[in-house]
Structure 1
């Protein structure tokens, strides 16, 4: 938005006095150049809009997973999930390793190990990561792929060690 506004403002500053004031007559070559500059502004605007759509589309699976994790965290713990950057870091670090139908797999895992919500509530307010919905993904990852999780973990490993311990696994 700001780039488009700046370009349009610059265009109007350059052309207003020359093209729109009756005292001054612009040559046809100047009018063509002004028209080309406006076309460039419009093309640039279209490119940025397409880039924004493409970026949003590319990150949709991550956004859906985070929405699922937030809803599940809220439902399972009764607490409001945090929305810190750590959520995105964890999801981004493991997105390529996740199975098909990730939400369904996590749901099955949490149903089988429903004590995890109590473990999370015990740490609420003591360990920052346990206030984040990505903690649910971390439990799932530790259970399903502990070595990859340890190797690719993007944030403080103390929280990861606690998750390993909660699941009865050696860190």
Structure 2
């Protein structure tokens, strides 16, 4: 699996007026120890970033194709997070065989303490995993997810939308 995500390379946001929050440095060991169980560390191809990844619990296929991915912003070589404002942590859902992003959650800024940052990361992982519907798409067999429409209303959609082009949706119960 090649594992790449263009979403992680967006430029950082700098608020008007020069105000910048105090960003905390997080080591690879602190990051790993603060994650829920089951995440492995991988080097992101084409970059020097550590990516933490585990199978998505809603994917009941064998072998599993969906993965919860955390782009850490931590350099592989030195094990330290990048400079303040360069990169936020991102929690996402990845379709492994196609290397396509299925769902990307909000960014987690590295402001506050290591414990508060890792608490927000765990919350994002939990939120992403709760989106799983534990049932399969009747058209392509991919897991169904609770998604949000542009207007904010929830609906049920197929996780194979981007990778396989499946367009199955239904109303949220």
Using the size of structure 1 for normalisation, the TM-score is 0.25
Q: Which has the larger radius of gyration?
A: 1
| Higher helix proportion (structure 1 or 2) | 1
